[in-house]
Amino acid sequence: MAPEDSTLDPAVLAAGEARDSVESLIAGLAGVGYIASRRIATALFMALNLGKPILVEGPAGVGKTELAIASAGLLGLPLIRMQCYEGLDESKALYEWKYGKQLLYTQILKDHMGRALADAPDLGAAMEGLHGAGDLFFSEPFLEPRPLLTALRQPGGAVLLIDEIDKSDEAFEAFLLETLSAFQVSIPELGVIRAKTPPVVFLTSNNVRDLGDALKRRCLHLHIPLPDQALEERIVATRVPEVEAALRRQLVSFVQELRSRDLRKLPSISETVDWARALILLHVQALDAVVVRDTLNVLLKFEADIAAVEPQIGDLLTSGA
């Protein structure tokens, strides 16, 4: 979805213009296939102008991750993505020393070292000779940058997406605070690395657990709710342009109607889009009970939900229409 040629001048120019106002951000995001509500665009606008991360919350599948991808496309910046999971730690998020390479080099250099130190008169002189070589193995060539460090070191800035931050541990969340507020990290062996251009940071959360106040305070907060009928129709129209207007209205209102029911997992935008694609594949012109029953598993992900909805398909179709 993100245009590949975004590093070309016109795109960068366009990105510069797009930053100017909320309206141009909405238009710009629409240009890369993301239909943003005013609040979403305002959040992005504030993030760009205040240089703060955005914490995006909302139900699964409302386009939290998409927003980051689309912003990267719009701004013409590389997207660096970090997926969080339980047990994620600094060495996987920030940097790591290439241990294997260090070891290999020591092995290879062993003979060489022996020769280099052979003419040292005593142990003290040999130690002296080694001192100079010691830091060699903890230098740039042996550094393995992970997503956070990569994002900080991008010369022109980057879009950093920290996905599903709620899945990570509290310790990791605390560690992020330094990186996100000062946009710098300290590596004991190398010193402090500061971002020349601070990255645009998106954090997404599904509310698996409540995030700490400290983290929330450092971020702008954006809650993306499930969309209303009009917005969702526009989204479907952008993502699946093959769908005819009549069918689009019908399928979106069916989904909207489904959301008013008491289900374990409500269908979100991504499910609507998938469903629209499925209907296109099946050459469906208009919804009827049979088609809906056959494709319901695209929308609902729990057996119990499907069982609850199946007998009501007729009602849902008529009340949605």
Partner 1 sequence: MQDGLEGFLRALRAHDVAVSPAEAIDAHRALAQIGFSSRTLLRDAFCVTLAKSAEEVERFETCFDLYYARDAFDLAHGPPQEAGRDEMGGPSAAFDLEASLEAGDEAALAAAMEASAARIGAGEIRLQSQRSLMTRRLLDDLGLRSLEARIAAGRGSESLADRIQAESLAGQRERLFARAGAFIERQAGLFAAQSARRMREQVLARKALTAVEPEDIRAMETLVRRMARKLASKYARRRRRARLGRLDVRHTLRRSLGYGGIPFEIVWRTRAVEKPKIAVMCDVSRSVAQAAQFLLLFLHCLNEVVERLDAFAFSDHAVAVSDVLREESVDDAIALILDRVGFRSTDYGRAFADVFELHGAKIDRRTTLIILGDGRTNYAEPRLDILRAIADRARSVIWLNPEPQTYWGQGDSKMDAYGRFCTVARTCNTLESLERIIEDVLRKYLPR
293 contributes a contact to partner 1 by CB under 8 A: no
Question: Which of the ranges 44-52, 143-151, 190-198, 235-243 carries the binding residues for partner 1, by CB under 8 A?
Answer: 44-52
Helices 64-75, 22-31: inter-axial angle, 10-degree rounding: 100
Q: DSSP string spanning 194-240? A: E-SSPPEEEEEE--SSPPPHHHHHHSEEEE-----HHHHHHHHHHH-
Residue numbers 4-33 binding partner 1 by CB under 8 A: 22
Nearer to partner 1, 216 or 277 (CB): 216
Q: Cα(130)–Cα(216) distance, rounded to whole angstroms? A: 48
Which has the closest alpha carbon to 166: 92, 58, 274, 79?
58
Q: Is 230 in the site for partner 1 (CB under 8 A)?
A: no
- The contact mask relative to partner 1 for 258-277 (x = CB under 8 A, - = no) is --------------------
Interaction between residue 42 and partner 1 (CB under 8 A) = yes
Q: Which of 11, 53, 57, 152 binds partner 1 (CB under 8 A)?
A: 57
Q: Which of 36, 222, 226, 316 binds partner 1 (CB under 8 A)?
A: 222
By C-beta, is 167 or 234 nearer to partner 1? 167
Residue 228 engages partner 1 in binding (rule: CB under 8 A): no
Number of Cβ atoms within 10 Å of the Cβ of 285: 10
Q: Which amino acid is at 315?
A: D
Is position 99 an interface residue for partner 1 (rule: CB under 8 A)?
yes
| CB 211 to partner 1: min, Å | 9
State yes or no: residue 217 binds partner 1 (CB under 8 A). Answer: yes
The identity of residue 33, as a single letter, is G
Residue count (the chain): 321
Site for partner 1 contains 188 (CB under 8 A) = no
Tokens representing residue 307 in the block = 């069982």
Q: Amino acid identity of 202?
A: F
Rounded to whole angstroms, how far apart are CA atoms 5 and 256? 37
Judge residue 218's burial from the number of C-beta atoms within 10 Å of its C-beta, 0-12 exposed, 13-18 middle, 19 or more buried.
middle
The span from the CA of 217 to the CA of 173, in Å, is 13
Please say which residue, 45 or 254, places its beta carbon nearer to partner 1. Answer: 45
What is the footprint of partner 1 within residues 78-97 (CB under 8 A)? 86-87, 89
What does the binding site for partner 1 look like in residue numbers (CB under 8 A)?
22, 38-39, 42-43, 45-46, 49-50, 52, 54-55, 57, 86-87, 89, 99-100, 103, 107, 169-170, 209-210, 213, 216-223
